[in-house]
Structure 1
Protein backbone atom coordinates (compact mmCIF):
# COMPACT_ATOMS: atom_id res chain seq x y z
CA UNK A 1 0.00 0.00 0.00
CA UNK A 2 2.82 2.42 0.91
CA UNK A 3 4.61 1.51 -2.34
CA UNK A 4 1.50 2.41 -4.35
CA UNK A 5 1.20 5.73 -2.52
CA UNK A 6 4.88 6.54 -3.17
CA UNK A 7 4.48 5.70 -6.85
CA UNK A 8 1.49 8.03 -7.09
CA UNK A 9 3.53 10.84 -5.50
CA UNK A 10 6.39 10.32 -7.97
CA UNK A 11 3.94 10.29 -10.87
CA UNK A 12 2.32 13.48 -9.63
CA UNK A 13 5.74 15.13 -9.26
CA UNK A 14 6.68 14.14 -12.81
CA UNK A 15 3.42 15.57 -14.13
CA UNK A 16 4.14 18.87 -12.34
CA UNK A 17 7.64 19.00 -13.77
CA UNK A 18 6.40 18.26 -17.31
CA UNK A 19 3.92 21.10 -16.98
CA UNK A 20 6.73 23.41 -15.85
CA UNK A 21 8.87 22.43 -18.81
CA UNK A 22 6.07 23.35 -21.18
CA UNK A 23 6.07 26.86 -19.76
CA UNK A 24 9.73 27.39 -18.97
CA UNK A 25 11.07 27.61 -22.56
CA UNK A 26 8.56 30.41 -23.13
CA UNK A 27 9.40 32.20 -19.88
CA UNK A 28 9.37 35.93 -20.67
CA UNK A 29 9.25 39.18 -18.70
CA UNK A 30 5.47 39.28 -19.25
CA UNK A 31 4.89 35.82 -17.73
CA UNK A 32 7.20 36.78 -14.87
CA UNK A 33 4.97 39.76 -14.03
CA UNK A 34 1.85 37.61 -14.06
CA UNK A 35 3.07 35.48 -11.12
CA UNK A 36 3.57 36.62 -7.51
CA UNK A 37 7.23 36.83 -6.52
CA UNK A 38 7.03 33.89 -4.13
CA UNK A 39 5.40 31.70 -6.77
CA UNK A 40 8.01 32.73 -9.33
CA UNK A 41 10.90 31.71 -7.05
CA UNK A 42 9.26 28.35 -6.32
CA UNK A 43 8.62 27.88 -10.04
CA UNK A 44 12.31 28.40 -10.81
CA UNK A 45 13.51 26.12 -8.00
CA UNK A 46 11.28 23.28 -9.21
CA UNK A 47 12.52 23.76 -12.77
CA UNK A 48 16.22 23.48 -11.85
CA UNK A 49 18.48 20.46 -11.50
CA UNK A 50 21.66 19.94 -9.48
CA UNK A 51 23.17 17.35 -11.84
CA UNK A 52 25.84 19.79 -13.05
CA UNK A 53 26.99 20.86 -9.60
CA UNK A 54 30.68 20.03 -9.21
CA UNK A 55 33.63 20.41 -6.89
CA UNK A 56 35.90 23.44 -7.05
CA UNK A 57 38.67 21.22 -8.45
CA UNK A 58 36.46 20.04 -11.30
CA UNK A 59 35.47 23.66 -11.97
CA UNK A 60 38.94 25.23 -12.00
CA UNK A 61 40.87 22.44 -13.73
CA UNK A 62 40.31 23.88 -17.22
CA UNK A 63 42.05 27.10 -16.22
CA UNK A 64 45.25 25.07 -15.86
CA UNK A 65 44.90 22.39 -18.54
CA UNK A 66 43.84 24.67 -21.42
CA UNK A 67 47.10 26.73 -21.39
CA UNK A 68 49.00 23.44 -21.31
CA UNK A 69 47.11 22.23 -24.38
CA UNK A 70 47.91 25.49 -26.18
CA UNK A 71 51.61 25.18 -25.32
CA UNK A 72 51.65 21.56 -26.45
CA UNK A 73 49.94 22.42 -29.75
CA UNK A 74 52.51 25.14 -30.42
CA UNK A 75 55.33 22.68 -29.68
CA UNK A 76 54.18 19.95 -32.07
CA UNK A 77 53.39 22.17 -35.07
CA UNK A 78 54.00 25.73 -36.31
CA UNK A 79 51.24 28.28 -35.84
CA UNK A 80 49.35 29.45 -38.94
CA UNK A 81 47.62 32.67 -37.99
CA UNK A 82 44.79 32.46 -40.53
CA UNK A 83 43.92 28.93 -39.49
CA UNK A 84 44.06 29.88 -35.82
CA UNK A 85 41.68 32.81 -36.42
CA UNK A 86 39.33 30.47 -38.24
CA UNK A 87 39.42 28.18 -35.20
CA UNK A 88 38.70 31.13 -32.91
CA UNK A 89 35.70 32.12 -35.05
CA UNK A 90 34.52 28.51 -35.06
CA UNK A 91 34.62 28.43 -31.27
CA UNK A 92 32.52 31.60 -31.01
CA UNK A 93 29.83 29.95 -33.16
CA UNK A 94 29.99 26.71 -31.17
CA UNK A 95 29.69 28.70 -27.93
CA UNK A 96 26.56 30.45 -29.23
CA UNK A 97 24.90 27.29 -30.57
CA UNK A 98 25.62 25.21 -27.46
CA UNK A 99 24.35 27.93 -25.14
CA UNK A 100 21.20 28.59 -27.14
CA UNK A 101 20.15 25.16 -28.36
CA UNK A 102 21.59 22.84 -25.69
CA UNK A 103 21.85 24.80 -22.43
CA UNK A 104 18.52 26.55 -23.01
CA UNK A 105 16.72 23.55 -24.47
CA UNK A 106 17.95 19.98 -24.07
CA UNK A 107 19.87 20.63 -20.83
CA UNK A 108 17.73 23.50 -19.62
CA UNK A 109 17.12 22.15 -16.11
CA UNK A 110 20.84 21.66 -15.48
CA UNK A 111 21.79 25.08 -16.85
CA UNK A 112 18.90 26.84 -15.09
CA UNK A 113 20.61 26.20 -11.76
CA UNK A 114 23.35 28.58 -12.90
CA UNK A 115 20.73 31.26 -13.53
CA UNK A 116 19.52 30.81 -9.97
CA UNK A 117 23.01 30.88 -8.41
CA UNK A 118 25.64 32.42 -10.67
CA UNK A 119 28.48 31.80 -8.19
CA UNK A 120 27.86 28.09 -7.77
CA UNK A 121 30.24 25.63 -9.43
CA UNK A 122 27.88 24.56 -12.21
CA UNK A 123 28.61 23.35 -15.71
CA UNK A 124 30.26 20.52 -17.57
CA UNK A 125 33.05 19.09 -15.45
CA UNK A 126 36.57 20.11 -16.45
CA UNK A 127 37.56 16.45 -16.26
CA UNK A 128 35.26 15.82 -19.23
CA UNK A 129 36.21 18.91 -21.23
CA UNK A 130 39.94 18.36 -20.68
CA UNK A 131 39.61 14.75 -21.81
CA UNK A 132 37.69 15.87 -24.89
CA UNK A 133 40.32 18.47 -25.77
CA UNK A 134 43.10 15.92 -25.35
CA UNK A 135 41.41 13.69 -27.91
CA UNK A 136 40.74 16.68 -30.17
CA UNK A 137 44.41 17.67 -30.05
CA UNK A 138 45.46 14.21 -31.25
CA UNK A 139 42.90 14.39 -34.07
CA UNK A 140 44.06 17.89 -35.04
CA UNK A 141 47.69 16.74 -35.11
CA UNK A 142 46.85 13.75 -37.32
CA UNK A 143 44.86 15.90 -39.75
CA UNK A 144 47.25 18.86 -39.83
CA UNK A 145 44.80 21.24 -38.13
CA UNK A 146 46.79 21.99 -35.01
CA UNK A 147 46.55 25.75 -35.53
CA UNK A 148 42.77 25.52 -35.84
CA UNK A 149 42.75 23.55 -32.59
CA UNK A 150 44.81 26.30 -30.97
CA UNK A 151 42.28 28.91 -32.08
CA UNK A 152 39.36 26.85 -30.76
CA UNK A 153 40.88 26.20 -27.37
CA UNK A 154 42.09 29.80 -26.97
CA UNK A 155 38.49 30.85 -27.65
CA UNK A 156 37.30 28.41 -25.01
CA UNK A 157 39.81 29.79 -22.50
CA UNK A 158 38.58 33.33 -23.15
CA UNK A 159 35.01 32.10 -22.71
CA UNK A 160 35.53 30.46 -19.32
CA UNK A 161 37.68 33.36 -18.09
CA UNK A 162 35.25 36.07 -19.20
CA UNK A 163 32.27 34.18 -17.81
CA UNK A 164 34.02 33.78 -14.48
CA UNK A 165 34.76 37.51 -14.21
CA UNK A 166 31.31 38.61 -15.45
CA UNK A 167 29.64 37.24 -12.35
CA UNK A 168 32.21 38.76 -9.98
CA UNK A 169 32.07 42.58 -10.23
CA UNK A 170 34.69 42.85 -7.49
CA UNK A 171 37.27 41.14 -9.73
CA UNK A 172 40.08 43.47 -10.89
CA UNK A 173 39.43 42.60 -14.56
CA UNK A 174 35.70 43.34 -14.47
CA UNK A 175 36.13 46.98 -15.46
CA UNK A 176 37.74 45.92 -18.74
CA UNK A 177 34.74 43.81 -19.83
CA UNK A 178 31.86 45.89 -18.52
CA UNK A 179 30.16 45.97 -21.93
CA UNK A 180 30.16 42.19 -22.28
CA UNK A 181 29.09 41.87 -18.65
CA UNK A 182 26.05 44.08 -19.28
CA UNK A 183 25.07 41.91 -22.26
CA UNK A 184 25.30 38.78 -20.14
CA UNK A 185 23.46 40.38 -17.25
CA UNK A 186 20.54 41.05 -19.59
CA UNK A 187 20.60 37.38 -20.56
CA UNK A 188 20.12 36.48 -16.90
CA UNK A 189 17.41 39.06 -16.26
CA UNK A 190 13.94 37.57 -15.76
CA UNK A 191 14.66 34.59 -18.00
CA UNK A 192 15.21 36.70 -21.12
CA UNK A 193 15.97 34.42 -24.07
CA UNK A 194 18.51 36.77 -25.69
CA UNK A 195 22.27 37.45 -25.71
CA UNK A 196 23.48 33.86 -25.87
CA UNK A 197 27.01 34.86 -26.85
CA UNK A 198 29.21 35.22 -23.77
CA UNK A 199 32.64 36.06 -25.17
CA UNK A 200 31.22 37.96 -28.16
CA UNK A 201 27.82 39.28 -29.33
CA UNK A 202 28.71 38.52 -32.96
CA UNK A 203 26.36 35.60 -33.53
CA UNK A 204 23.56 37.24 -31.56
CA UNK A 205 23.68 40.02 -34.16
CA UNK A 206 23.79 37.48 -36.99
CA UNK A 207 20.82 35.45 -35.73
CA UNK A 208 18.78 38.35 -34.34
CA UNK A 209 19.02 37.43 -30.64
CA UNK A 210 20.94 40.49 -29.47
CA UNK A 211 19.18 42.97 -27.18
CA UNK A 212 20.36 46.18 -25.53
CA UNK A 213 19.28 47.45 -22.12
CA UNK A 214 17.12 50.32 -23.49
CA UNK A 215 15.37 47.96 -25.91
CA UNK A 216 14.64 45.48 -23.12
CA UNK A 217 13.32 48.24 -20.87
CA UNK A 218 10.88 49.25 -23.61
CA UNK A 219 9.64 45.68 -23.91
CA UNK A 220 9.10 45.42 -20.15
CA UNK A 221 7.20 48.71 -20.06
CA UNK A 222 4.82 47.48 -22.76
CA UNK A 223 4.05 44.16 -20.99
Structure 2
Protein backbone atom coordinates (compact mmCIF):
# COMPACT_ATOMS: atom_id res chain seq x y z
CA UNK A 1 0.00 0.00 0.00
CA UNK A 2 1.38 3.39 -0.95
CA UNK A 3 1.80 6.03 1.71
CA UNK A 4 -0.10 9.30 1.52
CA UNK A 5 1.14 12.83 2.19
CA UNK A 6 -2.40 14.03 2.93
CA UNK A 7 -1.91 14.17 6.70
CA UNK A 8 1.63 15.57 6.79
CA UNK A 9 1.58 18.70 8.96
CA UNK A 10 4.01 21.35 10.14
CA UNK A 11 6.01 21.02 13.35
CA UNK A 12 3.85 23.70 14.97
CA UNK A 13 0.62 21.94 13.99
CA UNK A 14 2.07 18.66 15.32
CA UNK A 15 3.46 19.84 18.66
CA UNK A 16 0.98 22.55 19.65
CA UNK A 17 -1.31 20.08 21.48
CA UNK A 18 1.49 19.40 23.97
CA UNK A 19 1.03 23.00 25.15
CA UNK A 20 -2.63 23.83 24.52
CA UNK A 21 -4.17 20.65 25.94
CA UNK A 22 -2.56 21.01 29.42
CA UNK A 23 -3.73 24.65 29.45
CA UNK A 24 -7.27 23.62 28.51
CA UNK A 25 -7.24 20.93 31.21
CA UNK A 26 -6.32 23.60 33.77
CA UNK A 27 -9.05 25.92 32.46
CA UNK A 28 -11.65 23.14 32.69
CA UNK A 29 -10.60 22.36 36.26
CA UNK A 30 -10.55 26.03 37.26
CA UNK A 31 -14.08 26.66 36.01
CA UNK A 32 -15.12 23.39 37.68
CA UNK A 33 -16.68 21.84 39.51
CA UNK A 34 -13.85 19.35 40.00
CA UNK A 35 -15.31 15.88 40.40
CA UNK A 36 -12.84 12.99 40.51
CA UNK A 37 -15.31 10.41 39.21
CA UNK A 38 -15.95 12.56 36.14
CA UNK A 39 -12.23 12.82 35.44
CA UNK A 40 -11.84 9.02 35.66
CA UNK A 41 -14.88 8.56 33.40
CA UNK A 42 -13.39 11.06 30.95
CA UNK A 43 -10.09 9.16 30.77
CA UNK A 44 -12.01 5.92 30.13
CA UNK A 45 -14.12 7.63 27.46
CA UNK A 46 -10.97 8.88 25.75
CA UNK A 47 -9.37 5.44 25.85
CA UNK A 48 -12.40 4.02 24.05
CA UNK A 49 -12.44 6.87 21.50
CA UNK A 50 -8.70 6.29 20.88
CA UNK A 51 -9.27 2.57 20.32
CA UNK A 52 -12.34 3.07 18.12
CA UNK A 53 -10.74 5.78 15.96
CA UNK A 54 -7.60 3.72 15.48
CA UNK A 55 -9.45 0.51 14.67
CA UNK A 56 -12.47 1.73 12.71
CA UNK A 57 -11.22 4.94 11.07
CA UNK A 58 -7.43 4.73 10.73
CA UNK A 59 -7.46 1.08 9.68
CA UNK A 60 -10.40 1.35 7.31
CA UNK A 61 -11.64 4.73 6.06
CA UNK A 62 -8.25 6.50 6.41
CA UNK A 63 -6.09 3.42 5.91
CA UNK A 64 -3.86 4.94 3.22
CA UNK A 65 -3.21 8.11 5.21
CA UNK A 66 -2.54 6.13 8.39
CA UNK A 67 -0.20 3.79 6.51
CA UNK A 68 2.16 6.79 6.20
CA UNK A 69 2.74 6.45 9.93
CA UNK A 70 3.41 2.73 9.63
CA UNK A 71 5.95 3.43 6.86
CA UNK A 72 7.66 6.38 8.61
CA UNK A 73 6.89 6.50 12.32
CA UNK A 74 8.73 9.79 12.78
CA UNK A 75 6.83 11.62 10.03
CA UNK A 76 4.77 14.50 11.37
CA UNK A 77 1.37 13.16 10.42
CA UNK A 78 -1.95 13.52 12.11
CA UNK A 79 -4.79 15.92 12.70
CA UNK A 80 -3.59 19.48 13.09
CA UNK A 81 -3.36 20.73 16.66
CA UNK A 82 -5.26 23.82 15.54
CA UNK A 83 -8.29 21.60 14.92
CA UNK A 84 -8.00 19.50 18.08
CA UNK A 85 -7.37 22.56 20.26
CA UNK A 86 -10.36 24.41 18.79
CA UNK A 87 -12.57 21.33 19.27
CA UNK A 88 -11.43 20.88 22.88
CA UNK A 89 -11.99 24.60 23.62
CA UNK A 90 -15.55 24.36 22.30
CA UNK A 91 -16.10 21.19 24.36
CA UNK A 92 -14.77 22.87 27.52
CA UNK A 93 -17.32 25.68 27.09
CA UNK A 94 -20.15 23.21 26.39
CA UNK A 95 -19.28 20.80 29.20
CA UNK A 96 -18.85 23.65 31.70
CA UNK A 97 -22.38 24.82 30.84
CA UNK A 98 -23.56 21.26 31.51
CA UNK A 99 -21.71 21.12 34.87
CA UNK A 100 -19.31 18.48 33.55
CA UNK A 101 -16.05 20.37 33.13
CA UNK A 102 -14.23 17.58 34.98
CA UNK A 103 -15.46 15.03 32.45
CA UNK A 104 -13.96 16.91 29.49
CA UNK A 105 -10.81 17.53 31.57
CA UNK A 106 -10.53 13.75 31.92
CA UNK A 107 -11.06 13.23 28.19
CA UNK A 108 -8.32 15.77 27.46
CA UNK A 109 -6.05 14.15 30.06
CA UNK A 110 -6.53 10.83 28.26
CA UNK A 111 -5.75 12.49 24.92
CA UNK A 112 -2.62 14.09 26.38
CA UNK A 113 -1.51 10.68 27.67
CA UNK A 114 -2.16 9.20 24.21
CA UNK A 115 -0.13 11.77 22.26
CA UNK A 116 2.65 11.68 24.85
CA UNK A 117 2.94 7.89 25.01
CA UNK A 118 2.75 7.57 21.22
CA UNK A 119 5.47 10.18 20.81
CA UNK A 120 7.78 8.44 23.29
CA UNK A 121 7.19 4.88 22.04
CA UNK A 122 8.71 5.73 18.65
CA UNK A 123 11.80 7.36 20.15
CA UNK A 124 13.98 4.85 22.05
CA UNK A 125 16.41 7.63 22.96
CA UNK A 126 13.68 9.43 24.96
CA UNK A 127 14.29 9.18 28.75
CA UNK A 128 10.74 7.91 29.40
CA UNK A 129 10.92 5.14 26.76
CA UNK A 130 12.26 2.59 29.28
CA UNK A 131 9.12 2.98 31.43
CA UNK A 132 6.70 1.69 28.77
CA UNK A 133 8.19 -1.55 27.40
CA UNK A 134 4.86 -3.42 27.32
CA UNK A 135 3.11 -0.66 25.40
CA UNK A 136 6.07 -0.43 23.01
CA UNK A 137 5.95 -4.21 22.34
CA UNK A 138 2.18 -4.09 21.74
CA UNK A 139 2.51 -1.15 19.36
CA UNK A 140 5.51 -2.62 17.53
CA UNK A 141 3.51 -5.78 16.88
CA UNK A 142 0.62 -3.64 15.64
CA UNK A 143 2.99 -2.01 13.13
CA UNK A 144 3.87 -5.34 11.52
CA UNK A 145 2.27 -5.85 8.13
CA UNK A 146 -0.91 -7.89 8.40
CA UNK A 147 -1.33 -7.53 12.18
CA UNK A 148 -4.76 -5.98 12.70
CA UNK A 149 -4.58 -6.14 16.48
CA UNK A 150 -3.44 -4.00 19.44
CA UNK A 151 -5.22 -0.80 18.43
CA UNK A 152 -4.96 0.76 21.88
CA UNK A 153 -1.85 2.93 22.02
CA UNK A 154 -1.93 4.34 25.54
CA UNK A 155 -3.67 1.27 27.01
CA UNK A 156 -4.56 -2.26 25.88
CA UNK A 157 -7.82 -2.12 27.92
CA UNK A 158 -10.25 -2.12 24.99
CA UNK A 159 -8.16 -4.60 23.01
CA UNK A 160 -8.60 -7.03 25.92
CA UNK A 161 -12.33 -6.29 26.29
CA UNK A 162 -13.10 -6.45 22.55
CA UNK A 163 -10.83 -9.38 21.69
CA UNK A 164 -8.26 -7.57 19.55
CA UNK A 165 -5.30 -7.97 21.91
CA UNK A 166 -2.47 -10.23 20.88
CA UNK A 167 0.62 -10.75 23.01
CA UNK A 168 4.11 -10.75 21.63
CA UNK A 169 5.29 -14.38 21.71
CA UNK A 170 8.67 -15.45 23.02
CA UNK A 171 9.69 -16.40 19.47
CA UNK A 172 8.90 -12.90 18.24
CA UNK A 173 10.82 -11.40 21.14
CA UNK A 174 13.88 -13.45 20.23
CA UNK A 175 13.57 -12.21 16.63
CA UNK A 176 13.68 -8.62 17.83
CA UNK A 177 10.03 -7.49 17.74
CA UNK A 178 9.58 -4.85 20.37
CA UNK A 179 13.27 -4.09 20.58
CA UNK A 180 13.36 -1.17 18.18
CA UNK A 181 11.24 1.82 17.30
CA UNK A 182 9.01 1.13 14.34
Instruction: State the TM-score, normalized to the length of structure 2.
Output: 0.92
Look up the match of 1:72.
27
Query: Which runs of 5 or more structure 2 residues have no equivalent in the other structure?
Result: 173-182
Distance 1:216 1:126 in 2: 39
The CA deviation at 1:190 is 1.9
CA deviations on 1:152-192 (whole Å, 9 max, x unpaired) are 00000000000000000110000011111111010001231
The CA deviation at 1:83 is 1.1
Change (3 A) 1:182 1:189: same
The CA deviation at 1:79 is 1.1
Distance 2:46 2:170 in 1: 28
Find runs of 4+ consecutive structure 1 residues off by over 3 angstroms: none
Distance 1:191 1:198 in 2: 17
Look up the match of 1:155.
110
Distance 1:123 1:108 in 2: 13
Look up the match of 1:131.
86
Query: Which runs of 5 or more structure 1 residues have no equivalent in the other structure?
Result: 1-43, 218-223
Give runs of aligned pairs for residues 128-207 of structure 1, distance below 5 A. Answer: 128-207=83-162
Q: Secondary structure at the match of 2:77?
A: coil
The CA deviation at 1:215 is 7.9
Distance 1:155 1:207 in 2: 19
Distance 2:171 2:163 in 1: 14
Change (3 A) 1:76 1:216: farther
- Structure 1 vs Structure 2 CA RMSD: 1.2
Distance 2:33 2:124 in 1: 38
Give runs of aligned pairs for residues 1-223 of structure 1, distance below 5 A. Answer: 44=1, 46=2, 48-214=3-169, 217=172
Change (3 A) 1:216 1:98: farther
CA deviations on 1:69-124 (whole Å, 9 max, x unpaired) are 01111111131001110111000000000000000011111111000000000011
Distance 2:38 2:75 in 1: 36
Q: Secondary structure at the match of 2:154?
A: coil
Number of residue pairs the alignment of both structures matches: 172
